């Protein structure tokens, strides 16, 4: 009988050891619950497929805002790493199935566990920083349209490279100093350093708090504030525009878009913030909660970002409509022997905003430029064409 489940790993040949699970792993399996074992593969498949699909489809969309497309592809690469992380955890769960306790300590101390945990943190931090950057980019163009802050190619690529460098640094710094961080990633079977309970190393605990309650909480607050300000700006513009019809309906559409983006961020991060605060207050947190956070809650953003930023946007829907139209044309041509011409995609890449008609008249002209738009547009038109 031990105080913690992890100590059973030091006695692999004991016939009966208690406690027999920490909520994440058991004596038999790396993932204790059958639900965890099934959904680790489901969530991994959804995350990888969705992000790879978006990466592969982007080159076939004739994009005006190519710099933004590069940012979205970078975000998909980061989110795809989360799917790979879950896939590796599922694979090692299969490898140790039925005899996990014999390998538990070796697994948590192994370089494989360290690298897998680093991969998860790399995915998480790069995704958070990229979402913050994309949000600030939209915020500046919508709320301050008169500022001539044109996103140049060199600046955009430099920011993306800097974000990835920061992500790598955050993920791999704990591997550089074993004396200070100890086994930073090897505190549980899934190798994720949430540190929801007091760690043996104060360095690990402090570093985890700085990342989750410092960097990530600040990024979450920036995202919520920015989307709130954007919606308020849209609302004020619609009130002063007398020539725009159905502006209430458009406001509701934009509000739904804003709501789902902020809601998925909140759904992902608020539980983690709460767990970190409770751990600082030395509240005992069941391991089952940690496993649910790592397998179900943490990958929410990675799985839904392709849906929010690409698959539900107008250009993607238009492209799929064009593909279906060309397919029907080819079938008709083969069936009737017609020489009817098929047409390639000729739409314009319009990110983020829903598919509805733009008002026929322009109101309140403002100047807002980016890599694809150097003309004078209205703020309402801009909202329907920029992401």
pLDDT score at 3:
77
DSSP symbols for 91-160: HHHHHTTT-HHHHHHHHHHSHHHHHHHHHHHHHHHHHHHHHHHHHHHHHHHHH-TTS-----HHHHHHHH
Identify whether the C-beta of residue 317 lies closer than 8 Å to the C-beta of residue 355. Answer: yes
DSSP symbols for 335-347: HHT--PPP-----
pLDDT score at 224:
87
Residues in the chain, pLDDT under 70: 61-65, 145-151, 195-201, 235, 237-258, 287, 311-316, 336-387
pLDDT score at 352:
42
Name the DSSP letter for residue 309.
I
pLDDT score at 197:
60
The full set of domains in the chain, from first to last, is 31-322 (1.20.1070.10)
Identify whether the C-beta of residue 80 lies closer than 8 Å to the C-beta of residue 126. Answer: no
Any residues with CB less than 8 A from the CB of 276 and at least 6 apart, and which? 194, 196, 208, 209, 212, 213
pLDDT score at 349:
42
Record the tokens describing residue 16, joined without a space. Answer: 């009966």
Ramachandran angles phi, psi of 244, nearest 5°: -90, 130
Any residues with CB less than 8 A from the CB of 72 and at least 6 apart, and which? 54, 58, 134, 309, 310, 351
pLDDT score at 88:
94
The model's pTM is: 0.76
Name the DSSP letter for residue 49.
H
pLDDT score at 357:
37
Record the tokens describing residue 340, joined without a space. Answer: 């009817």
Report pLDDT digits (tens) over 236-249. Answer: 765 555 445 455 55
CA distance 341 to 303: 38
CA distance 349 to 330: 25
């Amino acid at each position: 009988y031990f105080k913690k489940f992890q100590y059973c790993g030091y006695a692999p040949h004991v016939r009966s050891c208690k406690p027999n699970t920490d909520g994440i792993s058991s004596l038999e399996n790396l993932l204790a619950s059958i639900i965890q074992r099934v959904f680790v593969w489901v969530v991994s498949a959804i995350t990888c497929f969705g992000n790879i699909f978006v990466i592969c489809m982007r080159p076939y969309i004739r994009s005006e805002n190519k710099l933004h497309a590069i940012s979205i592809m970078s975000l998909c690469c980061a989110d795809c790493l989360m799917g790979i992380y879950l896939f590796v955890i599922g694979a090692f769960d299969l490898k140790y199935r039925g005899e996990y306790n014999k390998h538990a300590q070796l697994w948590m101390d192994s370089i494989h566990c360290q690298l897998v945990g680093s991969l998860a943190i790399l995915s998480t931090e790069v995704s958070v920083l990229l979402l913050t950057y994309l949000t600030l980019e939209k915020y500046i163009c919508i709320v301050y349209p008169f500022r001539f802050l044109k996103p140049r190619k060199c600046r955009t690529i430099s920011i993306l490279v800097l974000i990835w460098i920061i992500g790598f640094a955050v993920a791999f710094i704990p591997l550089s100093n074993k004396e200070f961080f100890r086994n930073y990633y090897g505190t549980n079977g899934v190798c994720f350093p949430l540190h929801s309970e007091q760690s043996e190393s104060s360095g690990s605990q402090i570093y985890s708090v700085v990342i989750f309650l410092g960097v990530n909480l600040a990024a979450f607050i920036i995202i919520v504030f920015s989307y709130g300000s954007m919606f308020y700006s849209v609302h004020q513009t619609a009130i002063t525009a007398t020539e725009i019809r159905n502006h209430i309906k458009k406001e509701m559409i934009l509000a739904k878009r804003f709501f789902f983006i902020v809601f998925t961020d909140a759904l992902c991060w608020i539980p983690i913030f709460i767990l970190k605060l409770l751990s600082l207050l030395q509240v005992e947190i069941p391991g089952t909660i940690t496993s649910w956070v790592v397998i179900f809650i943490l990958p929410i953003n990675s799985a839904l970002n392709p849906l929010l930023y690409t698959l539900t946007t107008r250009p993607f829907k238009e492209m799929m409509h064009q593909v279906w139209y060309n397919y029907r044309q080819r079938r008709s041509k083969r069936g009737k022997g017609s020489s009817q011409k098929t047409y390639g995609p000729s739409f314009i890449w319009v990110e983020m905003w829903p598919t509805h008609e733009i008002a026929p008249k322009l109101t309140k002209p403002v100047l807002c430029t980016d890599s694809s738009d150097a003309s004078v547009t209205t703020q309402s038109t801009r909202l329907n064409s920029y992401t």
